[in-house]
C-alpha cells in the first residue's frame, strides 16, 4: 500500500499556457451559450467581437490534465471523483494571451481503507506581467486509495443552504454532447467519453465533468445575480454530491444576502442534488 501523504508538496504541473480566442469560445459553447444567436448577452462570450472571458476559465487554464492516471502517483485512477472546488478571481482572465499556472498537492487526507483519501490541489494563475489572476482549490476523492494512515485533516465543511424557499431559481439544459465538448478544454478523462470505462466505474454511461456542472451553475449565477456580467462573479465554493448525465437539465437555486450568495443545483429530471453547500461572492 502506498503512503500518498508523501506526495504533499509535489508540484504536479507548472507551465505557461497560451490561451486563444478559440479556447475561450469553446469553453462557453460547451456550457450551451450561444443557443440563441441573437441574444447579445450570450454572444459576448462566444463571438470574438468584444469577447469576454468567463470566470470558470480559471479551472481549465494551465490545467494539469488527468495527472492521477500517471503510474508514478500510484492512484487507482478508475475510482477517483471530484469532491469540492473553490475559485477565487483576483482579476478577470484575458480572452487570449499567456498565463502561467502552477499546481501543487497541498494536502492528502486518509479516510480509511474502505473510504479512500482526499487529495487537495492548489493552482495559482498569473498573467505574463505577473498579475495574480486566480486561485483554484480542488479536492479529489480517490476512492480506492485509503488506509495508509498519513496526511492532514479534512477541511471544515461548507455551510448548508438556508431552510427556506430560494430567492431565485435558474433552469439551464446541458447539451447531450457537453462532455465531449468540455473534454476538449483539457480534461480528457475517458470516464466522460468512453461507455466501457464509465460502466467499469459504476455508471450507466459517460458522465459530465464535475467542473462542467459547476460551470453551468456559475452561468446561472452570472445570468441571475450578475445581470449577465461575468466579471462580477469573483468567488465560488461548492461540494459535488452526485454526477450529471449530459443532456439533463440543471436547476440552480440561489439565496442572496448582499454580495454573498448560497446556492444548490439539482437535476430536474431525477430530482437529485448534484452541487450542494455552494457559496458565491458577487462584486458591484
194 has catalytic annotation:
no
The verdict on whether 271 is a catalytic residue reads no
Q: For residue 3, give the C-alpha cell.
A: 503512503
Q: Residue 37: how many CB atoms within 10 A of its CB?
A: 9
Q: Which residues does 26 contact at the CB level (< 8 Å), separation at least 6?
A: 181, 184, 185
- SS3 label, residue 248: coil
Please give the Cα distance from 274 to 282 (Å, whole number).
Answer: 22
Which helix (H) or strand (E) segment is 106 a member of? strand 97-110
H-assigned helices in 96-255: 178-182, 195-200, 210-225
Which one is catalytic: 4, 126, 192, 277? Answer: 192
From 187, 209, 229, 277, active-site residue: 187
Alpha-helix residue ranges (DSSP H) falling in 47-177: 57-60
Cα–Cα dist 171/184, whole Å: 25
* 3 CB neighbour count, 10 Å cutoff: 14
Strand partners, 16: 100
Query: Is the separation of the CB atoms in 173 and 249 below 8 Å?
Result: yes
Tell the residue number behind the cell numbers 487507482, with chain if given.
Answer: 76
Distance CA 279, CA 281 (A): 7
| Residues annotated catalytic, as ranges | 187, 192
Amino acid at each position: 500500500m502506498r503512503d500518498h501523504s508523501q506526495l504533499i508538496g509535489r508540484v504536479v504541473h507548472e507551465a505557461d499556457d497560451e490561451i486563444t480566442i478559440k479556447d475561450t469560445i469553446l469553453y462557453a459553447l460547451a456550457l450551451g451559450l450561444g443557443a440563441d444567436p441573437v441574444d447579445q448577452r450570450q454572444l459576448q462570450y462566444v463571438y470574438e467581437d468584444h469577447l469576454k472571458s468567463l470566470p470558470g476559465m480559471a479551472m481549465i487554464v494551465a490545467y494539469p490534465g488527468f495527472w492521477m492516471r500517471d503510474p508514478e502517483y500510484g492512484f487507482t485512477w478508475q475510482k477517483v471523483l471530484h469532491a469540492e472546488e473553490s475559485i477565487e478571481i483576483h482579476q478577470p482572465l484575458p480572452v487570449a494571451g499567456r498565463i502561467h499556472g502552477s499546481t501543487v498537492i497541498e494536502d492528502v487526507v486518509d479516510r480509511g481503507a474502505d473510504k479512500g483519501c482526499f487529495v487537495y490541489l492548489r493552482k495559482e494563475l498569473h498573467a505574463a506581467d505577473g498579475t495574480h489572476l486566480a486561485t483554484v482549490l480542488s479536492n479529489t476523492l480517490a476512492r480506492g486509495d485509503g488506509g495508509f494512515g498519513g496526511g492532514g485533516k479534512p477541511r471544515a465543511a461548507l455551510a448548508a443552504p438556508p431552510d427556506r424557499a430560494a430567492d431565485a431559481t435558474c433552469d439551464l439544459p446541458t447539451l447531450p454532447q457537453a462532455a465531449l465538448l468540455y473534454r476538449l478544454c483539457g480534461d480528457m478523462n475517458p470516464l466522460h467519453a468512453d461507455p466501457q470505462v464509465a460502466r467499469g466505474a459504476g455508471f450507466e454511461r459517460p458522465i459530465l465533468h464535475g467542473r462542467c456542472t459547476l460551470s453551468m451553475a456559475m452561468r446561472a449565477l452570472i445570468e441571475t445575480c450578475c445581470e449577465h456580467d461575468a466579471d462580477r462573479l469573483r468567488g465560488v465554493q461548492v461540494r459535488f454530491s452526485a454526477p450529471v448525465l449530459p443532456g439533463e437539465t440543471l436547476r440552480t437555486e440561489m439565496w442572496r444576502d448582499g454580495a454573498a450568495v448560497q446556492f444548490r443545483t439539482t437535476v430536474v429530471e431525477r430530482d437529485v442534488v448534484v452541487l450542494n453547500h455552494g457559496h458565491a461572492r458577487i462584486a458591484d
